[in-house]
Each structure stands twice: as structure tokens, then as C-alpha cells.
């Protein structure tokens, strides 16, 4: 095979008539090789997964219609639903003893908060005892809670 190709591609010996011109088989062989390269390159470029309109790089324009309304900021500090609000510090202590399974003297005057309620912190006596003042629909209420109330509002994501 290589010998056969060599007869087409190698120049003819000096003194023959093929010196100045290429034979027809040589031209056809070169054309077929060049055509094969062109077609293989073209088909490979068509199969690539290149997208010049990538969705992550284009800025999306807002559609027509009503704009998004941002939520109102939630009051802070606040008591969330399920928190306990007791009338006095003694009631809060009795509630803690009852939750621990101990017997207590007298009733425990505490209520469970049903909706998020804005408060003002009056004083702290440790992480589990905080005196607060609420301003809910029932008016100003002073009481004690065992809810954890950090100094700063939690960061919203």
C-alpha cells in the first residue's frame, strides 16, 4: 500500500515527461484527502454542545404585570407562637417545677402565646427568665417568659 502511494506522490525520475505536471491520479488523491479533512472537521463542529445563548448569562427582564410586594418586616424582639408568658416570676418558677415533674403549691398563672407578639424587654435574669412588656390587642401586659430572646434579630436569608 505504501509503495503504491509512493508511486503517486513521489516525483518521477528526471528525464521523463511527468517532471513539470502532476498526473491525474495524484490530483485526485490529494483532492480526496483534503475533502475528507474538510468533511470530518465540519461534522465535528456541528455536534459540539456549544450554546451562545446560555440562560445563566442573560439578564432576565421582568414580565409585565403586578410587581412583587416585599413582606413587612416582623417586629423584633417578639414572642413567637407557642411561647409562654407568665404573670409573675414566681409563676414562671412554678411552671418550670411542674414541667420537671415536681409538685407545686397553688395555680400557675401563665398563658401560651397564639400569634407573634411584639415585646419590650424590661430585664433579664439569665437565659431562661426574662421580664417583658407586650403590646398586643389586650393592651399593655407585663410578664415573664422562658423564651430565648437574643440581643439581635436573627438574620433573614
pLDDT per position as a tens digit, 44-83: 445 556 666 666 666 777 778 887 777 776 778 889 999 9
CA distance 146 to 80: 12
Residues 32 and 8: beta-carbon distance below 8 Å: no
Q: List, as one string, the DSSP characters of 129-155.
A: -EEEEEEETTEEEEEEE-S---SSPPP
Q: List, as one string, the DSSP characters of 16-78.
A: STTSSS--HHHHHHHHHHHHHHHHHHHHHHHHS---SS-TTTSPPPPPSSPPPPPPPPPPSSE
CA 121 to chain centre: 35
| pTM (predicted TM-score) | 0.52
Strand order in the sheet with 117-124: 78-79, 117-124, 130-136, 139-145, 84-86, 110-112
Question: What are the boundaries of each domain within the chain?
Answer: 2-11+22-44, 78-145
- In this predicted model, what pLDDT tens digit does every residue of 91-147 receive, in sequence order? 999 999 999 999 999 899 999 999 888 899 999 998 889 999 987 767 778 999 999
Q: Which residues pair with 104 in a beta bridge?
A: none
Amino acid at each position: 500500500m505504501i509503495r503504491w502511494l509512493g508511486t503517486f506522490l513521489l516525483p518521477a525520475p528526471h528525464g521523463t515527461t511527468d517532471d513539470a505536471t502532476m498526473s491525474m491520479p495524484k490530483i485526485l488523491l490529494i483532492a480526496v484527502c483534503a475533502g475528507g479533512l474538510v468533511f470530518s472537521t465540519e461534522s465535528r463542529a456541528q455536534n459540539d454542545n456549544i450554546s451562545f445563548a446560555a440562560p445563566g448569562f442573560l439578564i432576565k427582564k421582568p414580565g409585565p404585570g403586578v410587581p412583587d410586594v416585599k413582606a413587612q418586616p416582623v417586629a423584633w424582639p417578639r414572642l413567637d407562637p407557642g411561647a409562654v408568658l407568665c404573670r409573675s416570676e414566681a409563676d414562671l418558677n412554678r411552671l418550670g417545677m411542674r414541667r420537671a415533674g415536681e409538685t407545686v403549691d397553688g395555680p400557675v398563672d401563665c398563658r401560651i402565646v397564639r400569634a407573634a407578639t411584639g415585646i419590650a424587654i424590661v430585664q433579664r435574669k439569665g437565659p431562661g427568665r426574662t421580664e417583658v412588656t407586650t403590646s398586643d390587642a389586650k393592651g399593655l401586659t407585663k410578664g415573664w417568659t422562658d423564651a430565648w430572646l437574643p440581643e439581635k434579630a436573627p438574620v433573614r436569608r
